[in-house]
């Protein structure tokens, strides 16, 4: 008898529920279609079947249009209060606005990309290290004087046990094939009582219901392998000796415009690189303000941020 498949997050047997999909890649132009399976217990949604490492390598080969790297210092770095005020309006989720770093703390920016956050923390005197899987980004960051390590795969994080007080991942966790193994690694490199910050699409977002298949900021098949809400992340966290400190959500106006583009340009499967009238500042700024007003009564918005703390007992 074939065993009943179970949720990869909470372990519960899947109920007979209709799959989500098929979904196509609307952002990078990849060929193919993918389905998602929802869990009725923890609410996590997983791609089913999950792609292999080899398939993911093929997918990510088309992720960026080029390998240009911009590590320049941004003007907003000198005006943190102004930056926070603008992000409140724009909905941008920026760890510099909410990650509190005590004096002497060691910080890891996992998936540091072009080091925009890492640079600011570094310039403020924070002991911060980056981790990145793209070799050309690692080389550029190192050449600029930043401590960035190359990630060879998602099975292990290349740091010693208990090395960090704070780890943050911005739009990374939803890309991971094995969330449990990665949470074990995060627990390993964090000190007891250390903080973990995750920012990722919120599958409970009201905008998911509005945009449906055009909710490309969240679905982003086949790159987003798992979809979480607060309950799913709390279930995963408890299994690895993390406790939820707080959670909140907001919708970046850039995400909202991306979903609008996917809805308006229904035949376009490369909306990440589409410039349209929605990006004109005379449209984008009023739309940003309108979005903030519309979202006032909403509890669940597009980007979920969760602050977890590692238990002192493992």
Is residue 12 included in any domain, yes or no? no
Is residue 57 very low, low, confident or very high in pLDDT (cuts 50, 70, 90)?
Answer: confident
Q: What is the per-residue pLDDT across 258-290, written as a single tens digit (0 to 9) for each?
A: 999 999 999 999 999 999 999 999 999 999 999
The CA R_g of the chain, rounded to the nearest whole Å, is 19
**Structural domain total, the chain:** 1
Q: Is residue 76 part of a domain?
A: yes
Query: Which pLDDT score is estimated for 69?
Result: 76
pLDDT value for 2 = 45
Band the pLDDT of 15: cuts 50, 70, 90. confident
* Angle value at C-alpha 273, between 25 and 117, nearest 5 degrees: 100
Q: Is residue 5 situated within a structural domain?
A: no
Mean pLDDT of 142-152: 93
Is residue 9 one of the residues assigned to a domain? no
- Please determine, for residue 18, whether its predicted confidence score (pLDDT) is greater than 80: no
28 within a domain of the structure (yes/no)? yes
* 10 within domain boundaries: no
* Cα atoms found within 13 Å of the Cα of residue 51, Cβ hemisphere only: 20
Q: State the DSSP H helix or E strand holding residue 38, giving kind and residue range, or none if neither.
A: strand 34-38
In a domain, 7, yes or no: no
Residue 185 falls inside a structural domain: yes
Range of the domain at 219: 20-310
Is pLDDT at 308 greater than 70 in this prediction? yes
Write a three-state SS string for 247-259. EEEECCHHHHHHH
Q: Which CATH number do you get for residue 59?
A: 3.40.50.150
Which pLDDT does position 189 carry in this prediction?
97
Residues 239, 138: Cα–Cα separation, whole Å? 32
Q: How far is CA 273 from CA 27, 32, 65, 92, 258, in A?
A: 8, 19, 9, 19, 10
Residue located via tokens 């449906």: 212
- Would you say residue 3 has pLDDT above 70? no
The mean pLDDT value for 88-109 works out to 96
CA 241, CA 314: separation in Å to the nearest integer?
Answer: 6
Long-range CB contacts (within 8 A, 24+) of 282-289: 284/253, 284/257, 287/253, 287/256, 287/257, 288/89, 288/90, 288/91, 288/253, 289/89
> Would you say residue 1 has pLDDT above 50?
no
Question: Does residue 32 surpass a pLDDT of 60?
Answer: yes
Predicted local confidence at residue 63, as pLDDT:
82
Mean pLDDT of 127-150: 94
Predicted local confidence at residue 154, as pLDDT: 75
Provide mean pLDDT across the span 74-95: 90
């Amino acid at each position: 008898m074939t065993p009943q498949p179970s949720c990869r997050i909470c372990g519960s047997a899947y109920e007979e529920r209709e799959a989500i999909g098929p979904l196509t890649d609307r952002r990078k132009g990849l060929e193919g279609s993918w389905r998602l399976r929802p869990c009725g217990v923890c609410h996590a949604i997983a791609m089913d079947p999950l792609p292999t490492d080899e398939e993911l390598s093929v997918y990510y080969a088309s992720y960026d249009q080029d390998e240009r790297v911009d590590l320049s210092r941004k003007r907003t770095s000198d005006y943190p209060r102004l930056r926070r005020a603008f992000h409140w309006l724009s909905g941008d989720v920026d760890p510099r606005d909410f990650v509190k770093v005590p004096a002497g703390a060691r910080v890891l920016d996992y998936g540091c990309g072009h080091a925009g956050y890492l640079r600011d923390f570094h310039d403020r005197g924070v002991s911060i290290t980056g981790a990145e899987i793209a070799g050309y980004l690692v080389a550029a960051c190192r050449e600029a004087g930043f401590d960035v390590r190359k990630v060879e795969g998602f099975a292990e994080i290349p740091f010693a046990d208990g090395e960090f007080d704070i780890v943050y991942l911005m739009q990374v966790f939803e890309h991971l094939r094995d969330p449990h193994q990665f949470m074990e690694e995060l627990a390993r490199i964090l000190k007891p009582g250390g903080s973990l910050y995750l920012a990722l699409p919120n599958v409970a977002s009201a905008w998911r219901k509005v945009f449906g298949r055009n909710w490309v900021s969240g679905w982003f098949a086949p790159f987003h392998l798992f979809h979480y809400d607060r309950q799913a992340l709390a279930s995963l966290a408890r299994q690895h000796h993390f406790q939820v400190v707080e959670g909140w959500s907001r919708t970046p106006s850039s995400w909202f415009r991306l979903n609008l583009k996917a809805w308006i340009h229904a035949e376009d499967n490369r909306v990440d690189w589409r410039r349209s009238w929605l990006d004109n500042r005379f449209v984008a700024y009023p739309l940003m303000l309108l979005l903030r007003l519309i979202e006032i009564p909403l509890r669940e918005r597009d980007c979920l941020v969760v602050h977890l703390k590692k238990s002192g007992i493992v």
